[in-house]
């Protein structure tokens, strides 16, 4: 087995859920349900607030989040039927966001991901199923570069293929 090289800086930056949005989700989520924090006994939950996995004992919450709806509202567009909401994990209290660094969050060898493309109206333009292989950052960078080579693509959502969970978004550079 060959050692894995250190992650390279990502050209296409993954965006965590915005702090103001997180504050709202910690009160009521995008389905109108109250936030119900709990102590994570095992760790490993993909946290969308800081783009890392939870640690055992951290207080987290599973909330409903509608990322495309919020992006579209910022731009005054209506994604129509493409508006989706789904479960995401966040810290129960402000965590300060990502620590920085390089690479892409939740990218590990062999992971399966989907890179879903959206236009400026929030309509799906297509997507690509990805097997991240042994060099996940390179595979993701290539998929994002391919997506943004299309001038119609305004936004890409990276999702876990197995459950369809939203992991992070990348906006046109």
Summarised one tens digit per residue, pLDDT across range 118-170 is 999 999 999 999 999 999 999 999 999 999 999 999 999 999 998 888 999 99
pTM of the model: 0.89
Q: Is 97 within a domain?
A: no
**What integer pLDDT is reported at residue 126 of this predicted model?**
93
Q: Do residue 38 and residue 85 come from a single domain?
A: yes
What mean pLDDT value characterizes the chain?
Answer: 92
Q: Do residue 159 and residue 130 come from a single domain?
A: yes
pLDDT-derived band of residue 100, with 50, 70 and 90 as boundaries? confident
Q: Is 67 within a domain?
A: yes
Q: Is 8 within a domain?
A: no
Q: Do residue 73 and residue 131 come from a single domain?
A: no
Q: Is 44 within a domain?
A: yes
Domain tally for the chain? 2
- Residues of the domain holding 137: 112-171
Percent of the chain predicted with pLDDT > 70? 93
Q: Do residue 167 and residue 128 come from a single domain?
A: yes
User: Domain boundary residue among 91, 121, 154?
Assistant: 91
Q: Do residue 47 and residue 79 come from a single domain?
A: yes
Residue 107, pLDDT > 80, answer yes
Q: Do residue 81 and residue 119 come from a single domain?
A: no
**What integer pLDDT is reported at residue 1 of this predicted model?**
42
Separation between Cα atoms, residue 122 and residue 107, nearest integer Å: 25
Q: What is the mean pLDDT of residues 101-128?
A: 92
CB distance 66 to 83 below 8 Å? yes
**What integer pLDDT is reported at residue 2 of this predicted model?**
42
Q: Do residue 25 and residue 87 come from a single domain?
A: yes
**What integer pLDDT is reported at residue 58 of this predicted model?**
98
Q: What is the mean pLDDT of residues 109-117?
A: 96
| 9 contact partners, CB below 8 Å, separation of at least 6 | 102, 103
Q: What is the chain's length?
A: 173
Q: Is 1 within a domain?
A: no
Q: Do residue 28 and residue 78 come from a single domain?
A: yes
**What integer pLDDT is reported at residue 163 of this predicted model?**
85
User: Domain boundary residue among 91, 120, 143?
Assistant: 91
Q: Do residue 41 and residue 85 come from a single domain?
A: yes
Q: What is the mean pLDDT of residues 52-75?
A: 97
**What integer pLDDT is reported at residue 102 of this predicted model?**
61
Q: Do residue 48 and residue 87 come from a single domain?
A: yes
CB distance 22 to 49 below 8 Å? yes
| Six-digit token string for 1 | 């087995």
Q: Is 122 within a domain?
A: yes
Q: Do residue 27 and residue 69 come from a single domain?
A: yes
Q: Is 29 within a domain?
A: yes
């Amino acid at each position: 087995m060959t050692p894995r090289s250190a992650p390279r800086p990502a050209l296409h930056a993954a965006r965590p859920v915005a702090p103001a949005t997180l504050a709202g989700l910690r009160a009521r989520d995008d389905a109108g349900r109250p936030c119900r924090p709990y102590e994570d006994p095992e760790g490993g939950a993909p946290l969308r607030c800081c783009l890392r996995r939870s640690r055992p004992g951290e207080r987290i919450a599973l909330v409903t989040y509608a990322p495309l709806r919020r992006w579209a509202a910022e731009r005054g567009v209506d994604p129509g039927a493409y508006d989706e909401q789904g479960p995401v994990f966040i810290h129960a209290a402000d965590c300060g966001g990502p620590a920085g660094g390089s690479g892409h969050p939740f990218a590990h060898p062999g992971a399966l991901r989907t890179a879903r493309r959206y236009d400026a109206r929030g309509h799906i333009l297509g997507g690509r199923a990805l097997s991240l292989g042994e060099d996940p950052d390179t595979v993701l960078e290539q998929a994002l570069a391919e997506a943004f080579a299309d001038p119609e693509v305004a936004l890409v959502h990276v999702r876990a293929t197995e459950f369809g969970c939203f992991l992070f978004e990348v906006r046109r550079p």
